[in-house]
Chains A and B, each alone.
Chain A
Amino acid sequence: MEVLREKVEEEEEAEREEAAERAEWVRTEKMMRPVEVRKEETTLTQETLRDLEKKLSEIQIPISAELPAFTKDTIDISKLPVSYKTNTPKEEHLLQVADNFSRQYSHLCPDRVPLFLHPLNECEVPKFVSTTLRPTLMPYPELYNWDSCAQFVSDFLTMVPLPDPLKPTIKSEEKVLPKKYTIRPPRDLCSRFEQEQEVKKQQEIRAQEKKQLREEEERLMEVEKAKPDALHGLRVHSWVLVLSGKREVPENFFIDAFTGHSYSTQDERFLGIESLWNHKNYWINMQDCWNCCKDLIFDLGDPVRWEYMLLGTDKSQLSLTEEDDSGINDDDDVENLGKEDEDKSFDMPHSWVEQIEISPEAFETRCPNGKKVIQYKRAKLEKWAPYLNSNGLVSRLTTYEDLECTNILEIKEWYQNREDMLELKHINKTTDLKTDYFKPGHPQALRVHSYKSMQPEMDRVIEFYEMARVDGLIKREETARTMTEYYQGRPDFLSYRHANFGPRVKKLALSSAESNPRPIVKITERFFRNSAKPAEEDVAERVFLLAEERIQLRYHCRDDHITASKREFLRRTEVDSKGNKIIMTPDMCISFEVEPMEHTKKLLYQYEAMMHLKREEKLSRHQVWESELEVLEILKLREEEEAAHTLTISIYDTKRNEKSKEYREAMERVMHEEHLRQMETQLDYLAPFLAQLPPGEKLTRWQAVRLKDECLSDFKQRLINKANLIQARFEKETQELQKKQQWYQENQVTLTPEDEDLYLSYCSQAMFRIRILEQRLNRHKELAPLKYLALEEKLYKDPRLGELQKIFA
């Protein structure tokens, strides 16, 4: 039986889908027994009917007893609306109909599993399954299409395995990750006989190996294969069927609510269908499921294949014979065994469940508590809602070596909204290699960083985003003794630089990496072809053998040649017999030229070339040194970023973005104040006076004058009252202060320091209040005549008192 903790939610979620596409809930018993051949009668008499009714009422349905209760731990029943706790008369009626239907069914098909018609809801009230569905349209575009919607539902559901009814052990999930067996493509055969023979021999060996491998694999597969399932075909599952037709759905398919994946109706894992329902009706499958669901025809209007419970509620019915009151549907005489009259006109009551509401927060959180763990064979997938983890972790995939999930093979962690643009962290547990992947936008333009340790001068590969760096570096590989850099798009055509380091020279004083850099033994640089130069003058590779004081050059190969020019310089400075420095001798430069040239034979040329190379050597050494520094810098930055793991918040995210939130709130406040002010200006100062006069009539001059005078005197009174009020308060405060002062004078000697402090603070506050009141009074005195004049002016101009103007006009 299906007992799911989130049963109701599941159905409600699926409902949205249902609203959009014609999805039906399918309930099935796997491995259905063949449906019995239908009864012989084709026509029924009243007698047989009555007889049948009697028989039916005697039948005991074993179903209800087996219905297990919900786990009620999470649901607070008291807050649920009445519809959850009681049944309306119509629902009661429906339940009766359902019971009747069920009795007929178990009479006709005694071998089949009892129907799942009205389970108890969270309030222990039986409810018909169709009424648990309530089509609702949600405001999230992601939920409009089935695939993202199904994904959401599957994220929301948590799978809790049921106890095995046979054994008290818990079975792991049945789904097995698809395993692909790949064969290496065979090697090309060369035409030569010997090679052929060789290849043949190798192939034989390989075939042998392959066979062994396959056997091994098969053996492993055998071992890993789930033990023969004792409950195979006995399990019950609930899933969604989407019928073709509306919203460009080309063919029927299934959606599994747990995984959110779609499956063809031909899928072998769905062994059969017992019944299906939507919010309008309930159908029993009368087709044979010997070949899983492959042969099923989902024409719900075909009463031979699908036995419906309520007549006339679904559009896919073949015959909607409203006028036929006799209760017998002539078209489907096999179907209407015992259909009662009221059945036909009876339609499904409204759903008793509340409309589902998903807040944006909940929608973003997706899973309950924002976390979900999915266990696969040899793998575990964990998901978190964004911003739930302070380091931005949103999902983690752990793969294991063994079925018991104890030896971790590798871990992949995906991050979101990281300020350092970290996207994925890949940790290979066997090699201990960690690889970080970054999205574009890291301050150091990092793309990939793989390393075993964050210590400098260790094995490490750093890749950079192309075009993001000024120096065109795209990759830097490091080992303990080498550093290799790859470049692209540089104006000097440099494509590769490789540096070999020697062991660090020990210094007596303690030394760090900066103060004592490793000696560089050799620098190799390669260049792309510079088409502006002739090939024999365009250096392809230069090697600075620093230890040997040699420089080797290799030039690019001309298009029509197969050999390239080479040149080697010995930059050792030597001294001749007289002690003079030898500037340049022919044996200091050994060259091989593809096309011997005149000018390169000159010592001057060679000397100049060597001088140039010496300068370049210095630059290259400096570059290598700078690269080392940069690595240190990157490592430092990475460590800082890892420690801080700040997350970015979009400016459109008004909930999380503090600034934006503040701004929004400020805007709202301003809007509110503006609104209040507008309200105020709309106050009509004449309204109370006009109310005294009969409405709709034009004022006479006399009336207008009177009105004006009344209004002004009233205003004057109010101004005076206000002045009096302020005056009164002022006097009161002054008196109180005087009293207090007097009291202080009298008791000064006996007062504790605390009392004295209290008194002093009172005095200063009172003085402040008095001063303010004094100011307000003065201000009022100043402003009152002005306000009075302003009102008078306003009244003269008021169109309703137009009569007044005439006098003065």
Chain B
Amino acid sequence: MNWLCDLMEPRVMDDDMLKLAVGEQGPQEEAGQLAKQEGIVFKDVLSLQLDFRNILRMDNLWQFENLRKLQLDNNIIEKIEGLENLTHLVWLDLSFNNIETIEGLDTLVNLEDLSLFNNRISKIDSLDALVKLQVLSLGNNQIDNMMNIIYLRRFKCLRTLSLSGNPISEAEDYKMFICAYLPDLVYLDFRRIDDHTKELAEAKHQYSIDELKHQENLMQVQLEDEQARQEELEKHKTAFVEHLNGSFLFDSMYAEDSEGNKLSYLPGVSELLEAYKDKFVIICVNIFEYGLKQQEKRKTELDTFSECVHEAIQENQEQGKHKIAQFEEKHLSSLSAIREELELPNIEKKILECSADISELFNELMMLEMQLVEQLEETINMFERNIVDMVGLFIKNVRSLMAQCRDLENHHHEKLLEISISTLEKIVKGDLDEDLPDDLRTLFVDKDTIVNAVGASHDIHLLKIDNREGELVTRIDSWCTHLVDKIHKDEIVRNRKRVKEINQYIDHMQSELDNLEYGDILD
């Protein structure tokens, strides 16, 4: 009666249930005794079976970080949830439940086998994260739109699919359609797809598939282009000269400059502007190219440095390993000698010798490490000097180039001012030939207004140039500081780690010896 009651009662996954299940499914016999003695940590569990338990709600699974296989079939689960932490999951069985939508699987990137057989699902989606999916079971659901199949095209590893018992499987074309749109599929509804069927399906749906493929290809190409552009931009950004290989900066100067735009309609200004732009862009391109070159140089410098450091560390490590190997050889033989020795004074003497050996090893290893620290410090300092010099030179040159830009701007400003004043004079005299746009004409009220307008435009331009320069300098400076800091920090971390490692090893050796001593005395 009890079991029936259990069956009827909807349950929530709670700690007790999980513990019970883990205990039942964990190690058996001798190992089981040990497990019981120590208690099993959920983190260590690799597979878990929770079927026929009338579970309504999935919960408390977050501790099973390393779970590979989870079976939750034959319950009454309505919503997929609580699986976020189970990123190592490879196999997930949720068949014979009451699930209506696919959800909550976005973190399961390692999932290969997913069963949602006999649920109430009507649409295939939200599976994007499952890039390794090989087996998908969706039979006995309520999927009624053939277009769901097309969604499955993105799973390059998908080989097995079951969809029987869905409304779409009633369709006359069901099998052909799937075979045609999922050409890599090997098993459909638990049957192998033979080559003949594949050919037939391909022939039947060739046109639509070709079109689909074409579209997919286009998308792919677009995506790749976008990626390539993004990469290029990234590369420029690392050189701190992005967007300087064209008129981007110049255009940005005029983007927020309403006065400047108005003034460009003055007679003669457009030609002036054209010439100004040409010259300006040339300088920008110069900066850009110079920046890329410098970036290359910095990279080579960094690479050579890293290589040198790496080699030095490797060599030092080899020496350390060699010393340890030598020590261990000797140590082992002395240990066995101590074990065989019978006379107490001799034992003590030998133990003392051993202990001296250990401290000798410690000294040697520490000396090696000190040596390395000194050597590396010197190298790092040298590198720091070089890279700072490089960055300094780069900044200096960029500044001078930017100054050229400013000169151009000043020059342009003077010219513009001249034209404006002469135009104003003409307007005052009333002998202006050309028609000026209305909003421009409003500027020519008096000299102050026009001078202010031209000045404002000039200020905006200078500000833009200053900003760009400032941005570049700040970024490269911070890059440089970060780099140097990181190198120093890495070296410190490395040193700490090594010292810790040596100490740990020596401690272990010493305690081993002490134990031996202890044991011997006991004997």
Same complex:
yes
Q: Are A562 and B324 in contact (CB under 8 A)?
A: yes
When distances are taken between beta carbons in the complex, the residues of chain B under 8 Å from A167 are none
Segment at the A interface, from B28-36, B72-80, B149-157, B224-232: B28-36
B window 314-334: CB within 8 A of A: 317, 320-321, 324
**8 Å CB contacts to B: which residues of A599-614?**
599, 602-604, 607-608, 611
Q: Name the residue on B nearest A583 (C-beta).
A: B30
B496-520 interface mask toward A, CB cutoff 8 Å, 1 = contact, 0 = none? 0110011011001000100000000
Q: Which residue of B lies closest to A557 (CB)?
A: B321
Name the contact of B34 in the complex, choosing from A562, A594, A607 (C-beta under 8 A): A607
Q: Tell me, in angstroms, the Cα distance from A603 to B313 when the chains sit together.
A: 37
* A561 and B501 form a contact (CB under 8 A): yes
Pair A562/B31 contact, Cβ less than 8 Å: no
Contact present for A594 and B501 (CB under 8 Å): yes
B30 touches A562 (CB 8 A): no
A563 to B325, CA, bound (A): 9
Alpha-carbon gap, A592 to B328, bound state (A): 14
Q: How many B residues have CB within 8 A of the partner chain?
A: 24
Q: State which of A563, A583, A590, A607 has its C-beta within 8 Å of the C-beta of B505.
A: A563
Q: In the complex, are the beta carbons of B504 and A602 less than 8 A apart?
A: no
- Beyond A594-B504, A599-B44, A604-B27, is A560–B34 a contact (Cβ under 8 Å)? no
Shortest distance in angstroms between B254's beta carbon and chain A's nearest beta carbon? 55
- A52 on the B face (CB < 8 A): no
Q: How far is the CA of A583 from the CA of B317 in the complex (A)?
A: 40
**Is there a chain A Cβ closer than 8 Å to B494's Cβ?**
yes
A603→B504 CA distance, assembly (Å)? 22
Q: Give the residue among A560, A563, A592, A608 with the most B Cβ atoms within 10 A.
A: A563
Which residue of the partner chain B has the closest CB to A611? B31
Tell me if A592 and B508 are in contact (CB < 8 A). yes
| A608-B28 Cα distance, complex, nearest whole Å | 12
Taking CB atoms and an 8 Å cut-off, the chain A residues in 580-606 that contact chain B are 583-584, 590, 592, 594, 599, 602-604
Query: Which residues of B lie under 8 Å from residue A599 when comparing CB positions?
Result: 44
Q: How far is the CB of B120 from chain A (nearest CB, A)?
A: 40
> How far is B28's CA from A583's CA once the two chains are assembled, in angstroms?
13
Task: Decide: B504 and A607 in contact? CB cutoff 8 A.
Answer: no
Per the bound structure, the CA–CA distance linking A557 and B501 in Å amounts to 12
| Contact between B30 and A607, CB atoms less than 8 A apart | yes
B37 within 8 A of partner (CB): yes
B180 is an interface residue with CB less than 8 A from chain A: no
Q: Is the CB of A583 within 8 A of B501?
A: no
Q: Pick the residue among B38, B494, B508 that contacts A560 (CB under 8 A).
A: B494
A599 to B35, CA, bound (A): 13
Task: Flag if B320 contacts A604 (CB, 8 Å).
Answer: no
Q: Judge whether A602 and B38 touch: CB under 8 Å.
A: yes
Bound-complex Cα distance A141 to B234 (A): 68
Contact with B along A352-370 (1 / 0, CB 8 A): 0000000000000000000
In the complex formed, the residue of A with least CB distance to B27 is A604
- Taken together as a complex, chains A and B put the C-alpha atoms of A611 and B37 apart, in Å, by 18
Tell whether, in the assembled complex, residue A604 and residue B501 are in contact, meaning their CB atoms are under 8 Å apart: no
A560 proximity list for chain B (CB < 8 A) = 313, 317, 494, 497
Separation of A607 and B28 alpha carbons in the complex (Å)? 12
Any A CB within 8 A of the CB of B365 = yes
Interface residues as binary, A545-587 with B (CB distance below 8 Å gives 1, 0 otherwise): 0000000000001001111000000000000000000011000
A561 closest partner in B (C-beta): B501
Residue of A nearest to B321 (CB): A562
Chain B residue nearest to A606 in the complex (CB): B34
Asked whether, in the complex, the Cβ of B317 is within 8 Å of the Cβ of A584, the reply is no
Chain A residues lying within 8 Å of B33, measured Cβ to Cβ, are 583
For residue A583, which residues in chain B have a CB less than 8 angstroms away from its CB? 30, 33-34
Minimum CB–CB distance from A601 to chain B (whole Å) comes to: 10
Residue of B nearest to A566 (CB): B508
Residues of A near B35 (CB, < 8 A) are 604
Name which residue of chain B comes closest to A581, CB basis.
B30
CA distance A592 to B34 in the complex (A): 22
Mark B471-514 against chain A: 1 for CB-CB distance below 8 A, else 0. 00000000000000000000000100110011011001000100
Within B337-391, the residues touching A (CB, 8 Å) are 365
A562 adjacent to B37 (CB under 8 Å): no
Question: How many angstroms between the C-alpha atoms of A561 and B30 in the bound complex?
Answer: 37
User: Residue A603 contacts which of B37, B501, B502, B505 (CB distance < 8 angstroms)?
Assistant: B37
Q: In the complex, are the beta carbons of B494 and A604 less than 8 A apart?
A: no
B394 to chain A, nearest CB (A): 33
Task: Determine how close the nearest CB of chain A comes to the CB of B351; give it in whole angstroms.
Answer: 18
Q: How distant is A570 from chain B, measured CB to nearest CB, in Å?
A: 13
B191 to chain A, nearest CB (A): 34
- Whole-angstrom CA separation of A583 from B32 in the bound complex: 11
Chain A hits for B44, CB < 8 A: 599, 602
Given contacts A583-B30, A599-B44, contact A604 B38 (CB under 8 A): yes
* Minimal beta-carbon separation of A381 from chain B (angstroms): 48
Check A604/B321 contact, CB under 8 A, given A560-B494, A562-B501, A592-B508. no
- Render A28-65 as a binary contact track against B, CB cut-off 8 A, 1 for contact: 00000000000000000000000000000000000000
Question: A611 CA to B38 CA in the complex, in Å?
Answer: 18
Asked if B317 and A562 sit within 8 Å, CB to CB, the answer is: yes
Cβ of B34 and Cβ of A604 under 8 Å apart? yes
Residues of B within 8 A of A561 (CB): 317, 501
Q: Which residue of B lies closest to A608 (CB)?
A: B31
A589–chain B nearest beta-carbon distance, Å: 12
B31 touches A604 (CB 8 A): yes
Chain A residues, Cβ within 8 Å of B512: 590
Chain A min CB distance to B426 (Å): 78
Q: Show 14 residue pairs from A and B whose CB-CB distance is below 8 angstroms, ordered by the A residue.
A: A560-B313, A562-B320, A562-B321, A562-B501, A562-B502, A563-B502, A583-B34, A592-B505, A602-B38, A604-B27, A604-B31, A604-B38, A608-B27, A611-B31
Counting from the closest, the 7 A-B pairs by CB-CB distance are: A562-B320, A563-B505, A592-B508, A604-B34, A583-B30, A603-B34, A562-B321
